[in-house]
Every structure is written in C-alpha cells, then in structure tokens.
Structure 1
Amino acid sequence: MKNTGKLQLPLQTVSLIAGFMTWVILSSLLPYIKEDIALTAQQATWVTATPIILGSILRFPLGFWTNRFGARWSFTISFVALLFPVFYISVSDSFFDLIAAGFFLGISGATFSIGVTSLPKYYPKERHGAINGIYGMGNVGTAITSFMAPSIASHIGWQPTVRLYLFLLAGLALFNLLLGDAKEPRFTVSLKEQVRAVYKKDKLWLLSLFYFITFGSFVAFTVYLPQFLINNFGLTKVDAGFRTAGFIALATVARPVGGWLSDRWNPFKVLMFVFAGLTLSGVLLSFSLSFSWFTFGVLAVALCAGLGNGAVFKMVPMYFSKQAGVVNGIVSAMGGLGGFFPPLVLTTLLSVTGHYSIGFMALSEFALVSFVLIIWMFYQEKLRLSANILEHTVEAMLVTDTNSVIQFVNPAFTAVTGYTAAEAVGQKPSLLKSGKQLKPFYDELWRSVREHGYWQGEIWNKRKNGEVYLEWLNITAIKNDAGEVKYYAGMFSDISKAKTKDTGNAAS
C-alpha cells in the first residue's frame, strides 16, 4: 500500500493540475474571446463564473463515488467527459454556446474532491494535512493556464489554444486508467446513511463556511482578476494573465505550507491568522488604491487563502474520519460556490455604485465572522479534550460547587461507588459517607483545603450497595483568575485490596 500511495500522490496531483488548467480556460482567454463574440460586462462575468457552478455541485457526488469506485475511474471518466465541452468551446460563436459549454467545463473543477478523498487512505492521520496540501498544489494549474494560454492565443488564436487541451485531457485519462490503483480501498456505505450521519453536525457547516471564504477567495480572484486588471489599471492581456498567475502561484505554494503548519502546530491557530489577514486585506482593498497597494492587498489575500485551504482540509478527518468522502465533497462544494458569487456581486456593484468597495468590504466582514467562530471552535475543542481526559481517566473523580453540590462525575466514579452520574449529580458527597470518621476528621480536612488549597489522605467511604471500602482521596480547590474558589475537585481510588494485601504480607 505504501509503494502504491507514493505513485498515487504525484499521479493525482498532476491530474488535478490538468483539471484546474482546464477549469479556467474561459476566464483566461476571455479578452481574446470577446474580440470574436460580443459580450456585455454582465455576460462576460457570467461566462467566467458559470464553470464554477458544476465545479462546485459535482464535488459532493464525486467525493462519494471516489470512496465507492476509487480515484482511478473517477479521474478517467471525468477527463473523458471533459473532451466534449472543451471541443464545444473551441467552436462557440455566441454567448449561449459559451454558457452551455462552460457549465459542463465545471467537471474539471470538481475533480478536486477525488484526491482529497482518495489520498488520505494511503497515509497516517498525522500526515493528512501535508498530503492534502501537496495535492492541493494542483491549484497551480490555474496559474499555468492564466500565464500560458494568453501568450499562446496571441500567436495561434484562442480556438486552436482551446483545442490543445483535448490532448492534455486524453493523455491524463489514459495515465489514470493505466497507473491508477485498481485495488484502492472502497467504502460501500450508502450515500443516504453517510449524509444522515453528518448533516446535523455543526462542525460540517463551520468547515464549509471556512472553505467558502478561503477557497472561494482564491477562485473568485482567479477568474475575475484578469478582467479587473485590464479594465481598471489598463494592463495588457498578457501582463494581466502573468500577474494573475503570480496570485495563483503564491496561493498554491501557501496551501501545503498551511497543511504542514496544521500538522506541526495547530489548525485552529493557523485559521485565526488566516481570517485576521483576510479581514485586514478586505478593508485595504475596499479603498481606492494605487496599483502598488492593490497588488499588496491581493497578494495578502493569496497568502491567507492558500494557508487557509490547507488548514481546513487538515480539520476534516479530525471530525469526520468515517465519512470523509461525503464531507470532503460538501466542504469543497461550498468552497467552489464561494468563488461563484463574488464576481457577479462585484460586477453588479460596479454598475450600480461605480466602484467595488462594498464587495471587498463584504469579504472583510465574512472573514471577521469566521475569525470569531474559529476562536470559539478552538476553545470548544480545548473543553472537549478536557472532558475526554476526565471521562477516560483511571481515577474516579467528582467536582462540586462551593456549596458541596456535585456537578460532575466520571465513569470511574460509577465503577468505584456504584452510583451513576444521574444519581450523583445534584447530591452532596455525604451520600458516600461510611460513618467511620467523626466530625473532627472532616473539620481538619476542610481546614487544610481552605488554608493550603488541597488535602490528601486515606478515607473510608461506602458504595451504593452498602459495602464500606478504603480509598485514597485528593481534594483540590479550583480558583478563577481573581483567586476566588469556584469548585472543588476530588480524585480517588479504591485501595482496599492493596491495603489487605500489604497487611497479609506483613503478617506472613
């Protein structure tokens, strides 16, 4: 499996590069297409945004199909299917032709779900962030097309340039058929069962929102930036393509870095940086800027979006290891949709207000909301981890408030005392009293807790069935930041058997 995985990573990454190269044919060549096909500004925006629709929606079923049939067939069939819309684009002569072909061109963008579902099967969880990040570098395909397609079109025309992609797609279909893993592990759980298991979980929709912002920013800038640079800064078609390729390259390089940092550090903290950066970048871009400041703001978006893309897909297997195919599909679909709306919104705002400020400010506000949510998730995760530690610790534990009312007990408490959580919570620890210790014993115990913050020692207690046993007890006062005692935590273990054994050994 290891050797097979080593081959699948480069094969699927190259396949994604080809898919993303194909996905942005229309946006990269639109300045040339407009010379032959008359398009209004609104129509041009629809032409560039349309491939995103199927490229987003199809990611959901493609993730599921990859789990069931494997990446080999998913990539092969996708590339064969793409031959038809790509050829149709090359013979289009109207707006409606471009829309129809562009819709099915979205298959190329949906191929992203294949690798993020397939590749983690070959690697341990601690490497999933880096592996998905490396695979995600397939985004560089958009940079290759943005940089090369305008240059080639300026020499041979846009129709022959589009037809060159037919050879690329046919070649990758053949490579996947011959080199893809025919023995990839398959999962046959029905789509309905997988969706039912995840759709009510808030983590799914939070991750979808985060990817909607990070990958959506990447896609939106990729498809809209060439036209924006030409119309607002007077750049040539080739220069606009070159600068768009620079944006894509930075975001692509940042993606595996985001995955690697998430593996080595913490994906929550990486996303905090990402959304703080996107918030500030959106504010910067919302002002009328010189070309230099605009470039700085756009490159900051590229860096943050790339890091965020890598971090989000590190988090998916943290919460959904058993439904990775469906969840990867849903999250990546939301990311694609995140790239569909901004170009349309920006064009509409330009026609209504004459500038783009509100659109860029919207990016800032969405990022700010995500920043707050990721902080909330970070502390929720810390609380969940603490609860898991308490739930699985070997020693029995109970926590009381300052009025000695039990607030929490762990499973080990039930194992030792016989009282369930439902029976113990709301009661006082006195329900365990054996009667062997008198009041002075407890007075001294609580004097020590008040003066020193803790007490430890042997104490006789009674189980639910009436059996008296000896335990070793540690009581600690839990204080808040102001130094006020809020809770008391008791940890104890049954030492009756050990005590009996020691007594027996001493007697012998």
Structure 2
Amino acid sequence: MFDSESPDTGDSTGGSALQVATIAAGWLLLLFVGAYLITPASILTLVMADLGVTEATAAALVSMPQVAATVIGIPVGIYLDRVEARTVVPIAAAILFAGSVGDWFAASEAVVPLLIGSRLFAGVGMFILWVVSINVASSTFSPDRRATATSVIISGYPAGYALGQVATPRLAEVVGWPGVFPVFGGAVLLVSLGLYAAVGRVSRYRTPTEPMSAVGFKKVLRNRNVWLVVAVTFLGYSLYMVFNSWMPTYLTRQFGVSIAESGTFVALFPAVGILARPAGGWLSDTVLARRRRPVFAASFAGAMTLAVAMFYSTTVAVLVSLLVLAGVFIQLQIGLMYQSVQEFVDPSAAGTVVSIASVAGWLGSFVAPVVAGELVATAGTYGILFAFAVGLGAAGGLTVWRMAESGADSTPA
C-alpha cells in the first residue's frame, strides 16, 4: 500500500534546503496560528470594557478555537487521511482568516454571540493546519530525524503564544484591538502559501498510496499502543496546564507577588518550550537511537521531582527557577508524542491518530485546571496542586511503562 521509507522523488542537491524551507514555513504557520489564538488573553481588560462581558466570558473567547477542534477533531483527521494534505493547507488558512475577519466585525459591533461563532469557525482551520503541519514534518524527513522535525515544528506554537502576548497590545494601539485578529489571520494565510509551495517541491517519505479503509480504522481503534500514547498526551498536557493555569494564583496568594509579576514569572514556563520541545525530539532521534519511551519517562519523572521540590520552596526565586526547569522537563515530550503515535500505525492513518492525540491533549488542557480548582476548594490549600501534579506524573510514568517502543522499529503494529 505504501512505501514506508523511500521518498516519493529522488533527492536533489537542494533537497536539504527544501526540507529546511518546509519546516521553517510550518513553524511560521504555527507561530501565527498561536498568536491568533492567544490574542484576547493579553487584552482582556479592553475586551471586557468594550463588549461589556465578564472575565469568564472574555476568557472563554481564548479557548473557543480549541473547543471547536475538540468537537470536530477526529472526523477531520479521518478526512485528512483521504486527501492530499498539501491541498488543504491554503483552504484551512482561508477558513481561519475568514474567522478572523468575522472576529473583527463582531468585536467592532460588540456582537458577542457572533464573536464566539467566528472564533469557533476559525478553530476548524486551526485544527487542520495543526494536524497537517505535524504530518508534513514527519513525512518530509527520514526515520532518524522525524521526531526532531516534528518537535521543531511544534515549537512554533508556544512561540506564537509569546508573540501574541507581546505584540497584541502594541498592535491594538495602531489598529484597535478588534483589528488584531485579521492581522494574525492574514499572516497565517500568507505563510500557508509558502508551506503549500515548499511541500510541493520537497521529497516525501511515508506517504500512502491508498486512503485509510474501514478495516484500517478498526485496526487503529484496536491498537493498544495508540491508546497508551493518547493517554500519555492527555496526562502530559494536564500536567502542563496545572502549572500554567494555577501557578500565577499560587505565587500571588502564597508569596504576595503582584498579579503582573506572577504573570511575568509564569510566562517563562511555556516559553522554554521553544527550546525544550525540539530538544526532546533531538534526544530521542540522535542520543537515544530513535527510542521514545526514555524521553517520556524522564519528562514525567522530572516533573514529579520538581513538583515536590516546589512544594517545599520558601522563596520566590527558588520556586520560579524550579518552575522553569519543570517547564523544560514537561515539554520535552510535547512534539515527540505526535511522532510516536504515528509510528504505531500505517501511514494512511497518520492524520487520524494525530487528531485523536490532539483532541486528548486539548481535553487534558481543559479538564486538569478545573479538577485542580475543585481540589483546592475542597482541601482549602494550594499545596494540593503539587500533590495533583505528582499524581499525574505517576500515572504518566505507569502508562509509559506499559507502552511499547515505537521509534526503534518503525513497522506499524
């Protein structure tokens, strides 16, 4: 059905340059996607004042695209396995851009339901671009470099969050805050054309010659290791969001740090992912000879150890240092998980399993902060956050122990 290791076309002298161009275009694409998604977060006070909404409603605007992705993720993944991924890149970017224009109109006219709807609509394009970028990174490189490529392209996403947080207030001064949405949406559309062109010229590996069949889908659903990677993804993102969402409050309540200062300190936690995510892929590919499980295990073990150390920290400087280090360990596996799950299936199911893992990751991102909040309310202490983090890390480690190795043998299970 497919050629698992040979490129579609012969390598040329410019092959490496085209591979770099493809990854660079994909990275920039996810950079602007991330910036678009996080846009409301850094201007919540303006959003609340102009729209007359509560903090909860304003904050919900940030997560609307992810909500859409969670709902449509698996069907879209199945569809992407039946079409040429390259052809949907500009279409998906156009959907996101159309949603961003809708954001601008709705925000300018203060029509909140329309703004929610346009953000949901843009989420469809966001999810397609996310899955296609990961699959392109994987299929563009040979087996000994796939995890590195996937992890590098994934790092564009946290970089986009940083860009959005920094650039949005400044852009809002020039174009008004509703105008920031189509600025980033337009950048996504423009870069998508570059990715479309680059993918069309680069040699490809692991490309199926036939779409996934109903039998192939049933094999995916029965694949124990796929579901173990999905569990790892859920737990990894849960751990990531417990720290990301609750540490600003913990710093403020326990150490008397101002809201502005705590936000700045905690921003370092996701920011280190720009380096940590590619590092995890590189370690797996180069140092560990394509073994994935040691990186997953180290990520969970390191996070557990640092959670305990943070609980006993008595100074802000020590706590923030440990938090940054925890950000490194936790994010070593983000990116690698999307490569690992593909290695357990036929390439014709790559989009499907990446979509399933992505939905699991976003579910973890939604569920874990809520559970953490309930635990704090029940226990009456923020110390329970660290116990919860240790529990997530232990569950992740147990899941990794039960999982087979995927990278060392690229034959589908």
TM-score range, shorter chain: 0.7 to 0.9
Q: 1:114 to 1:149 in 2, by over 3 A?
A: same
- The match for 1:311 among 310, 316, 336 is 336
Matched, 1:169 2:188: yes
Amino acid at match of 2:120: F
Residue of structure 1 equivalent to 2:94: 80
Residue of structure 2 equivalent to 1:332: 358
Residue of structure 1 equivalent to 2:279: 257
Residue of structure 2 equivalent to 1:362: 388
Residue of structure 2 equivalent to 1:143: 162
Amino acid at match of 1:254: A
Matched, 1:209 2:234: no
Matched, 1:234 2:258: yes
- Distance of 2:326 and 2:370 partners within structure 1: 19
Superposed CA offset, 1:285-312 (max 9, x none): 5679754344234323321222011432
Residue of structure 2 equivalent to 1:60: 74
Q: 1:299 to 1:177 in 2, by over 3 A?
A: same
Q: 1:62 to 1:299 in 2, by over 3 A?
A: farther
Superposed CA offset, 1:45-78 (max 9, x none): 5333333222344443444444433332222111
Q: 1:79 to 1:38 in 2, by over 3 A?
A: same
- Distance of 1:306 and 1:312 partners within structure 2: 10
Q: Deviation at 1:187?
A: 4.5
Contact residue 59 and residue 330 of structure 1 kept, 8 A: yes
- The match for 2:147 among 116, 129, 133 is 129
- Distance of 1:161 and 1:109 partners within structure 2: 20
TM-score, with structure 1 as normaliser: 0.65
The secondary structure found in structure 2 opposite 1:308 is coil
Contact residue 38 and residue 164 of structure 2 kept, 8 A: yes
Contact residue 56 and residue 337 of structure 1 kept, 8 A: yes
The secondary structure found in structure 2 opposite 1:309 is coil
Q: 1:354 to 1:47 in 2, by over 3 A?
A: farther
- The match for 1:7 among 2, 21, 34 is 21
The secondary structure found in structure 1 opposite 2:91 is helix
- The match for 2:117 among 86, 93, 100 is 100
Could you tell me the percent identity over the aligned residues? 19
- Distance of 1:359 and 1:50 partners within structure 2: 26
Q: 1:177 to 1:260 in 2, by over 3 A?
A: closer
- The match for 1:195 among 217, 234, 237 is 217
- Distance of 1:297 and 1:307 partners within structure 2: 16
Q: From the two aligned structures, give the one with the greater helix fraction.
A: 2
Q: Deviation at 1:354?
A: 6.1
- The match for 2:40 among 15, 20, 26 is 26
- Distance of 1:178 and 1:225 partners within structure 2: 42
List aligned pairs for 1:241-390, cutoff 5 A.
243=265, 245-263=267-285, 264-265=287-288, 266-283=291-308, 291-322=316-347, 323-346=349-372, 356-377=382-403
Residue of structure 1 equivalent to 2:134: 116
Superposed CA offset, 1:407-427 (max 9, x none): xxxxxxxxxxxxxxxxxxxxx
Q: Deviation at 1:253?
A: 1.0
* Superposed CA RMSD: 3.6
Q: 1:81 to 1:213 in 2, by over 3 A?
A: same
- Distance of 1:328 and 1:164 partners within structure 2: 28
Amino acid at match of 1:122: T
Q: Deviation at 1:258?
A: 0.5
Contact residue 37 and residue 62 of structure 2 kept, 8 A: no
- Distance of 2:266 and 2:113 partners within structure 1: 26
- Distance of 1:330 and 1:35 partners within structure 2: 38
- Distance of 1:187 and 1:35 partners within structure 2: 54
Q: Deviation at 1:181?
A: 1.5
Matched, 1:49 2:63: yes
Superposed CA offset, 1:16-42 (max 9, x none): 222222222233332432233344454
- Distance of 2:313 and 2:55 partners within structure 1: 21
Q: 1:167 to 1:326 in 2, by over 3 A?
A: closer
Q: Deviation at 1:315?
A: 2.4
- Distance of 2:213 and 2:46 partners within structure 1: 43
The total of aligned residue pairs comes to: 381
Q: Deviation at 1:343?
A: 3.6
- Distance of 1:311 and 1:11 partners within structure 2: 19
Q: From the two aligned structures, give the one with the greater strand fraction.
A: 1
Gaps spanning 5+ residues in structure 1: where? 389-508
Q: Deviation at 1:348?
A: 5.2
Q: 1:349 to 1:215 in 2, by over 3 A?
A: closer
Residue of structure 2 equivalent to 1:153: 172
The secondary structure found in structure 2 opposite 1:181 is helix
Superposed CA offset, 1:120-174 (max 9, x none): 2232212111111121121221221122223433665422333322331331244
Contact residue 372 and residue 388 of structure 2 kept, 8 A: no
- Distance of 1:255 and 1:62 partners within structure 2: 25
The secondary structure found in structure 1 opposite 2:279 is helix
- With 51-60 and 302-311 compared, the bigger mean Cα shift is at 51-60
- Distance of 1:213 and 1:187 partners within structure 2: 34
